[in-house]
Amino acid sequence: MILDSLKLDGKVAIITGAGRGLGRAMAVKMAEMGADIVAAARTQAQLDETADAVKKTGRKCIVVPTDVTVSAQVNALADATVRQFGKIDILVNNAGGGDGGRPKQLPEITDDEWRRGIDTNLSSQFYGCRAVIPQMVKQNRGKIINIASGYGLRGGKQNFMYACAKGGVVQLTRSMALSYAQFNIQTNCIVPGFFPHNEAAMERFKGGKFIPLGRGGEDSELGPLAVFLASDASNHINGELVVIDGGGLAGGIAPTGVSPENTN
Amino acid sequence: MAEEKPRGAENKMASPNASNDFSLQGKSALVVGAEHPVGRAAAVALAEAGARLVLASQEPGTDKQLKEVAKLVSAAGTKPVIRVQDAATRADVSATADLAAKEFGGLHILVNALDTPAWGPAEAIDDTAFDKIIENNLKTVWMACQEGARVMLRQGSGAIVNITSVLAERGVANAALYCAAKAAVLNLTRALALEWARKGIRVNAIEAGWLDDESSPAKGGGEFSKTLLKYLPDNRLVKPEELGGALLYLVSPAAGFVTGESIAVDGALLARV
């Protein structure tokens, strides 16, 4: 029965960046579908809020404050999960972040900013994969979901670190998929488009008018996709990118919202 | 590390909201090419998720196959309406879309499982064969999208999934036109998605890997199929039923922000060099 194959009952999912936004939305939706959650992020207070939301669904949630740019902490996250639940069924490598402030001209980007950005957005996902793989191989089963971005597939002006890191995530996904297919471990990648998290983002992006569907995504819309890729319903999908962007990447050779005129 | 003591709720407990996001209760769906293994699997998946179905054929003279699929669909959900048609004949496709709309008071989901493989050296394809291959693999999809969308545009909502192949993204020898047609379906999907995005219709695709289907050269047993199996990342062909999850995700309300996208169900084949 296909709807049953989408359930996550009895599964254990680690989600990084679970303190807010898309990470929290995925944690709650996966819990609604039956998974116990290991929520990781830097900020304890935010994690506690996620844990409260997860526990309202009736699932268990442990929180593990983690700096994903420190591989020892990511290893400890995997260890804590195995200690608590005896297994790791699902890893969602969600933690990451853009350049923070205003985009910088190339000569202004310092070595330190570059390294910090790559650590946050790419090395973190590598550390996550490396930390869970021994356990998943032992189980002969596992699902890894990396989170990239449209900037991992297309370029943007003054967008260096983020585009390079997310492009790296795409390739990490493919190499993971091929390396561990034989161990029944599927690694896929969600490519989110524009998901505004505050008024400033909405303002900057004009409410999402540039998106074919005419709006930005809601955090809650990412949950079901994460569930699908974590579930048995996607067992033969591996090394694949699933774009959830309201049609943005399907276009891109003409501005959205206008169409070439009919010249006949 | 803060650990939370488990409270009462055990893992074995069924999750109450489990299937709501993906449920197709109350939705009506038209599957075109339902006599094919992929169409059959698509129909069963949609029926299991609660959709009511019209099963339409690609080729005429397929009454027997459609009846067999109808039995599976009835067992999985509700009894479908059967419509034997020629998917390359405009009047047929148009009448099929109208039938689906009339039968259920609307059409929410259209799945195009239209596929007529064509293998052989390029120099052997004459102009008549060209027209036929493109008609079978592209024009049929185009017409089904047009006619399905005619109904969907009227109601202001709908989800279309075109099932194409990994051949849409890579070349393979002795299938030049077939590859071209499959690629055309992929980009047709993107362009239609953009055109109808603000009219309530989402258009997506599924790229099937090498299928476990008797008619496929992958099942030939010769050098090609043996070498292919070694090349596939998990050394096996794709069963048509394995497309069901991606299909259900794409047509369900859960994918409301997904359009113009394609999901490959190929066991990592497109990921490899």
ipTM of the complex: 0.93
- Check residue B9 and give its pLDDT: 36
8 A C-beta contact, residue A124 and residue A69: yes
Residue B124 has pLDDT above 80, yes or no: yes
8 A C-beta contact, residue B184 and residue B190: no
From A127, A151, A162, A180, the catalytic residue = A162
Q: Is residue A257 part of a domain?
A: no
- How many CB pairs lie under 8 A apart between chains A and B? 206
A81-100: average pLDDT:
92
State the catalytic residues of B.
Answer: 178
Encode pLDDT of B200-259 as tens digits. 999 999 999 999 998 888 998 899 999 999 999 999 999 999 999 999 999 999 999 999
Percentage of chain B surpassing pLDDT 90?
A: 90
CA of B161 vs chain A CAs: smallest distance (Å): 14
Interface test with chain A among B258, B265, B266, B272, by most A beta carbons within 10 Å = B258
Q: Is residue A77 part of a domain?
A: yes
B57-69: average pLDDT:
98
Give the count of domains, chain A.
1
CATH of the domain at A95: 3.40.50.720
Q: Is residue A185 part of a domain?
A: yes
Band of residue B7 on the pLDDT scale cut at 50, 70, 90: very low
Contacts of B18 in chain A (CB under 8 A): 3, 6-7, 9, 32-34
Q: Is residue A260 part of a domain?
A: no
Average pLDDT, chain B: 93
B88-98: average pLDDT:
98
Contacts of A80 in chain B (CB under 8 A): 1
In single-letter form, the type of residue at position B272 comes to R
CA of B64 vs chain A CAs: smallest distance (Å): 25
- Check residue B5 and give its pLDDT: 36
Contacts of A108 (CB under 8 A, 6+ apart): none
Q: Which residue of B has its CA nearest to A220?
A: B254
CATH code linked to domain B24-271: 3.40.50.720
Question: Residue A179 is inside which H or E element, if any?
Answer: helix A161-180
Residue A163 has pLDDT above 60, yes or no: yes
Contacts of A57 in chain B (CB under 8 A): 15, 17
Residues spanned by the domain of A46: 2-244
B83-91: average pLDDT:
98
Is B254 in Cβ contact with A61 (below 8 Å)?
no
Among candidates A50, A34, A30, which has minimal Cα distance to A91? A30
Residue A94 to residue A13: CA distance in whole angstroms: 12
Band of residue B1 on the pLDDT scale cut at 50, 70, 90: very low
Q: Is residue A96 part of a domain?
A: yes
Q: Is residue A254 part of a domain?
A: no
DSSP B168: G
- Check residue B82 and give its pLDDT: 98
Instruction: Give the max Cα distance, chain B.
Output: 72
8 A C-beta contact, residue A36 and residue A85: yes
Contacts of B271 in chain A (CB under 8 A): 173-174, 177-178, 238-240
Residue A103 has pLDDT above 80, yes or no: no
Band of residue A99 on the pLDDT scale cut at 50, 70, 90: low
Q: Is residue A249 part of a domain?
A: no
Domain residue ranges of chain B, discontinuous segments joined by +: 24-271
- Check residue A200 and give its pLDDT: 79
A82-105: average pLDDT:
88
Band of residue A100 on the pLDDT scale cut at 50, 70, 90: low
8 A C-beta contact, residue B192 and residue B211: no
Considering only CB atoms, A250 lies closest to which of B15, B45, B261, namely B261
Supply the pTM of this predicted model: 0.94
Q: Is residue A258 part of a domain?
A: no
Question: Residue B109 is inside which H or E element, if any?
Answer: strand B109-112
Average pLDDT, chain A: 94
Residue A263 has pLDDT above 60, yes or no: no
Residue B12 to residue A1: CA distance in whole angstroms: 18
Residue B66 has pLDDT above 50, yes or no: yes
Encode pLDDT of B179-201 as tens digits. 999 999 999 999 999 999 999 99
- Check residue B2 and give its pLDDT: 40
